Amino acid sequence: MKFILLCLAAVPIFAQGAHDAVADLNIGKRVFDSQCALCHGPDGSGGRGPNLRKAKLKKAPDDEALRKAIADGLPPEMPGAWQLSIREVASVAGYVRTLGKVVVEEIPGDALKGQELFAQTGCSNCHIVSGKGMGNGPELSAIGTRRSAQHLRESLVTPSKFLPDGFLLIEVIDAAGRATKGVKANEDLFTIQLAQPNGRYQSFNKAALKKLTRVTGQSTMPAFDKLPAADLDNLVAYLASLRGTE
């Protein structure tokens, strides 16, 4: 670690403009912890944003692209860190590269057995993997690149611990007293659109509703806290093996 740090610190990094900037990994870590970890996870293993503990980053194949991504952002999801100095941008980029050098954790469990279990327990009723399944929950085709094994394990055992963005459960009662539940697809000041479990969308005029309830803090996913330890290992191994088309 110290070796990497010294090497990096000695290499001038050519950032935007004509200015040279030298990466300082301590600065990089401080900025990362405060401004990047919210989405990429405290250890860079991913969250709302992708896992950065990889040797190659799809949208930042080289150092220049990485610095540009940090400074300018990657619309629409990732905001640009416009307020960082050139040296800070270079330092964050340097720090992110050290994350990619971390040895990938060993995952106990059998991914093939996990795949069978995934099918048997009805996970596909809500999750899509490689085009198969229903999209009532987050797509999992590349979940292995976005989440650490530990994160996946905790999500299975206690789903409400990590509520995914964009899957807010809504309950409405219309003027005729009919109740409808669904995942919020969109909303503006006057209307709300729900995705129902059968895959159909329904749109409501909010002023015409008797009641609109936002079910916060709960996950619609059942907890897999009673699963035998070996099965849980297998399921985690399968999910961790899902890496999309990488």
Partner 1 sequence: MKLALIAFTIAAFAQVPYERIRDAAKEPANWLTYSGNLQGHRHSPLTELTPANVGALKVKWAYQFPGGRNQTSPIVVDGVMYITSPNRAAALDAKTGRELWTWDRPIPKDYQSIGFGQVNRGPAILDDQLFIATLDCYLVALDLKTGQQRWEVKVEDYKPGYSMTLAPLAIKGKILVGVSGGEAGIRGFIDAYGSNDGRKLWRFFTIPAPGEPGNETWAGDSWKTGSGSSWVTGAFDPELNLVYWGIGNPGPDWNGDKRKGDNLYTCSFVALDADTGKLKWHFQFTPHDTHDWDAAHVPMLIDAPVRGQVRKLIVNPNRNAFYYALDRVTGEFLAGQSYAKQTWAKGLDDKGRPILIPGMDPSEEGVLVWPALNGATIWYSPSYSPKTGFVYVATREAAATYFKREAEFKPGTFFAGGGERRIPQDEQWGAIRALEPATGKLAWEYKLLSAPWAGVLSTGGGLVFSGSNEGNIFALDARTGKPLWNFHSGGAVAANPISFAIDGRQHVALAADRVLYVFGL
The contact set with partner 1 (CB under 8 A) reads 17, 19, 27, 30-31, 34-35, 38, 81-88, 168, 187-191
* Closest distance of CB 17 from partner 1, Å: 7
Rounded to whole angstroms, how far apart are CA atoms 4 and 238? 33
CB nearer to partner 1: pick between 105 and 162:
162
CB 117 within 8 A of CB 234: yes
CA dist 141 and 229 (Å) reads: 24
State the nearest-atom distance from the C-beta of 34 to partner 1, in Å. Answer: 5
36 vs 129 by CB, closer to partner 1: 36
Q: Which is nearer to partner 1, 81 or 223 (CB)?
A: 81
**Cβ closest to partner 1, residue 52 vs residue 71:** 71
Least CB distance to partner 1 at residue 106 (A): 33
Shortest Å distance, C-beta 218 to partner 1: 15
